[in-house]
Structure 1
């Protein structure tokens, strides 16, 4: 990857890491499915009439939207509801990186270098240590649901890659426009019907509105567009491990904005994640910047 795209991947990880703080605050005012409804309604519906549909079939568009949004978040919310803590759930969700790599090897017949394999193993060790240090209990059913969410995210990564070169922003806008109606139906069925939205309208303050706008415009437009762009340009084996930085930035954001503590074990584990990613992004034999750029622009 070029230095510019590495910075873009870091930006996406920061945006999505801080997003967990936003979600934690927002869910105190808006139920999960209603929260997802507002997210995608604001992300897709205002612009879908002005942004040209990406040059892919409706079938592929729906498949990406469902796997990236509806299925992923439905399993994630159910998993948390069944006993998986939100923090540990965010960590387990990053197993999508390894699902993405496995699917990529199968679908695109790509090869994983030994340095990439070692880098991924080191980064995963860091993630495991962070999760272990949280001392959170979770149910088996909750764990399986979050793993299903991670697999759904990995599937969307492969579908985006298969779709070929596209306008990433248009892809995010149009896939987002597919999701409000299903989430509205789920909110109506499981969260109290129309009374829930009346209560939200009466109680929603500027903090809750800010959370909805952040997750709709910053996390979805900037984060989603940046991630889709990287998936178009590079092998999923190279891009997917950057998601392992999301829990790291989530913990840092929680420390900065919510006063949550960070243990020495978490700091050391975060260092392992960064080290693993550095190894993963430097698979060639040379450590010179020119060789780095030459090796990582192969997928453009």
Structure 2
């Protein structure tokens, strides 16, 4: 049996199932990140929490990249442009706003609001390119998505803190979208892992500076209880460093459309872990808003989704 190779159809099925397992594992890990953040915010200010998380995550990714023998030296604008823009927008500003919003927004609601990102991203990309306009169905998808967000947010004048928190989470989604549209890695010489390590480092340094400059963001590390230290390390190493490693492996294999869909797999995990660990409950409006945002995305990307789903089904059933 030496040298035996299984048929192509068997290898394809095994690979598809392994990717599906990694996909669900990543969604679960990123779902728990909302719960871990909620727990850690009881002690650590939001910007400082984001800074510590990405300080540790960046160091972990650099260590992995070095152990694997990847080149770590950026070369010119093709590397530095996505590193700087992605670090400031997608890591720094996005997580500062998200963590600040999560002080008053439950984990499942925050995860569901970020489901607007896959709706906003193609719409923003088309706005940025004047020669590429949204079709009527795409416009309808964006409107349905925003209707879902309005249903989730349902501003309450009697609870201003919650309304401000929802606004901060939505602002974090908008910042992420700007970064996703403007960051261009086509001319990058670095590999994905090293590029992401540098991006996390730039974001971490921006957050470190913000934590030092902004009032109310300092904290006494020696006074942080052990459970909170555990939550912070978990955030940095599991959803952070390990999550990004899995994400880039899947992104290379599955492409941006399937990976964009993960935003709709994360909220159920965030809701489940929020209920198990924090006793959070899910409101009917949140569920309805999630369905509306998902429907908006399907309207916007329906043709691509159908092609991808057929290809995935053919690979699994072959």
- Whether the aligned pair in 2 keeps the contact of 1:161 and 1:231 (CA below 8 Å) is no
- Whether the aligned pair in 1 keeps the contact of 2:97 and 2:168 (CA below 8 Å) is yes
Please list every run of 5 or more consecutive structure 1 residues that lacks an aligned counterpart in the other structure.
Answer: 296-300
Moved more, 31-40 or 136-145: 136-145
Name the Cα RMSD after superposition: 4.4
Moved more, 93-102 or 264-273: 264-273
Q: Which residue of 2 aligns with 1:258?
A: 278
CA distance in 2, matches of 1:103, 1:268: 25
Asked if residue 57 in structure 1 is aligned to residue 82 in structure 2, the reply is no
1:235-246 matches, cutoff 5 A: 236-246=256-266
Offset at 1:188? 2.3
Please list every run of 5 or more consecutive structure 2 residues that lacks an aligned counterpart in the other structure.
Answer: 1-15
Q: Which residue of 1 aligns with 2:51?
A: 37
Q: Which residue of 2 aligns with 1:200?
A: 221
Q: Which residue of 1 aligns with 2:124?
A: 103
What SS is found at the alignment partner of 2:265? helix
- Whether the aligned pair in 1 keeps the contact of 2:142 and 2:297 (CA below 8 Å) is yes
What SS is found at the alignment partner of 1:217? helix
Given the two structures, how large is their TM-score scaled by the length of structure 1?
Answer: 0.71
CA distance in 2, matches of 1:294, 1:16: 28
Q: Which residue of 2 aligns with 1:180?
A: 204
Offset at 1:191? 5.0
Offset at 1:89? 4.2
Offset at 1:21? 0.9
Given the two structures, how large is their TM-score scaled by the length of structure 2?
Answer: 0.68
What SS is found at the alignment partner of 2:71? coil
Aligned residue pairs total: 288
Larger Rg, first or second structure (1 or 2): 2
Distance verdict in 2 for CA 1:251–1:142, change over 3 Å: closer
Offset at 1:119? 7.9
Offset at 1:160? 5.5
Offset at 1:278? 8.1
Distance verdict in 2 for CA 1:237–1:113, change over 3 Å: farther
CA deviations 1:169-197 (Å, max 9, x no partner) are: 32332212223333222222335687x2x
Offset at 1:37? 1.9
CA distance in 2, matches of 1:26, 1:57: 34
